Structure 1
Amino acid sequence: MTAVLITGCSSGIGLETALAFARRGDRVHACVREPARAEELLRRARAEDLTLDVPRLDVTDDASVTAAVTAVTDRHGPVDVLVNNAGIDHTGPAETMPLDQARTLMETNFWGPLRMARAVLPRMRARGTGVIVNVSSLAGRTFAVPHGGFYAASKAALGALSEALYAEVRPFGVRVVCLEPGSFASAIQRGSAAGAAAGRPSGSGPYTEDHAWLARFLTHVAEGAADCAEAAQAVVAAADDAGTPLHTPVGKDAEAALRFLAGVSYEQWLPRFLEQAESLAGPRPAPPGAPAAE
């Protein structure tokens, strides 16, 4: 029986991943930041007669991480597989997005996985075995879209950390994988669209209409997102297969995007992206005060 600890299990990829491991009979610790939000996970587990543990864990809080991992290991033994899935998304212009939101992105998407890795690695190293699966994003491997720079930066940073960690812990028998999902019907995918709309700069600032345009585009993208159960199977496969590449795209759109971007510069990519976005969200608004087209 494999002991699996997964963060961010209240919905989306984390929820589906917890169920996928539990179906195999693994000992699953499906962590959530807010226990009240675990109702759907527990309901589905009961419906399938699955057994899993649901600890409270906030990846942005050192004490919470230490307490949760200590409680899990003291009661059930060391963690064999860590799945760093918890993540959030905020969109906004680099110039005006509130810095507290930007910092929250990094705390959750970058520092959170690092906290978790540090919490489980001592025992993994001592035992000479273990797997850390970092659930990143296609956004960390591709060019950043307008108003998506902070999210992309957090995921690119996680990818770079995964590379260094891979090389550092491999001699101890610990394996690291960085999965990069494309568009999946997760809370973070839906939230990126809703958040772009809800978090638009108020008033008539220089980026207000452009941010609203991005929200319309993200809404269309979310409508065509794939089933999170597919991503969950990729997580399980990565945990099992020692031959899984460090950087592994997940989803047909992610694989296609990376093939397309091979050898393409940002200057070549941006007009194509804008053309696609405008086909879904309408013409991109002109900046305030820009001269009218003749």
Structure 2
Amino acid sequence: MKIEDKIVASVISGLKALYGQEVPEKMVQIQKTKKEFEGHLTLVVFPFLKMSRKGPEQTAQEIGEYLKANEPAVATFNVIKGFLNLTIASATWIQLLNEIQADEQYGLVKATETSPLVMIEYSSPNTNKPLHLGHVRNNLLGNALANIVAANGNKVVKTNIVNDRGIHICKSMLAWKKYGNGETPETSGKKGDHLVGDYYVSFDKHYKAEVKELMAGYTAQGMNDEEAKAKAEAASPLMQEAREMLVKWEAGDPEVRGLWEMMNNWVYAGFDETYKKMGVSFDKIYYESNTYLE
């Protein structure tokens, strides 16, 4: 039972005991005590003056004394004119919190067939590297929001849109193909998303070294640094190979698609492990590879 309901019931009993009068619940006005006064809940005494035939302060004093003697939830009270300020006993708060803790469904509203349908999308990773701190924030906020919306009686679909295609994915694939020597999560002892992320870094390392070497040749020909860098990046054989791999992927090349599926599956296994640790889940996962042509 809510604390307010207990107080209302005790006030009704008190009015009958003190003044021999039965009163309806709607006549008992309980409100939060104003912050400048001591107490948690305040009873408005003015409606009871006709039955008490006494002034507001004396009526409030009598009701307060009755509650303190007969209602365990009331620890102390004070009277301010026609207002009875009640301080709730600590044990009552503890009892309430224990009841809430014991009720797994406390405060939840169950969805029905007519409840609004809400889609909440979060995580949205790329499959060329592990989840990072931004994804942690995104996942925890998204999952918390989904729980809150569901707890308010909505039907919720938790959705994850995965960016699983594009040049950044091909960079990891190409680096593994060139420098991986058949390494797998099992042979390396690494989570799949971390392993693939390592090859994304490896691509960048080799690409920067290649650009630096090309720039040196262009600057020797008299180009300034900005021109040399732009020309070197455009001429990079490694980047050209990554672009060619992306074109083959878009054309459905079996070898490229096979490599893509293998490495993405490594990443998904790593993601799933992280999601499980974080306690987040999804009802529906969409993949950009299935939707990008739309």
Q: Give your verdict on TM over 0.5.
A: no
- TM-score (ref. length: structure 2): 0.22
Higher relative contact order (CA 8 A, sep 6+): 1
Q: Who wins on radius of gyration, i.e. which is larger?
A: 2
TM-score scaled by length of structure 1: 0.22
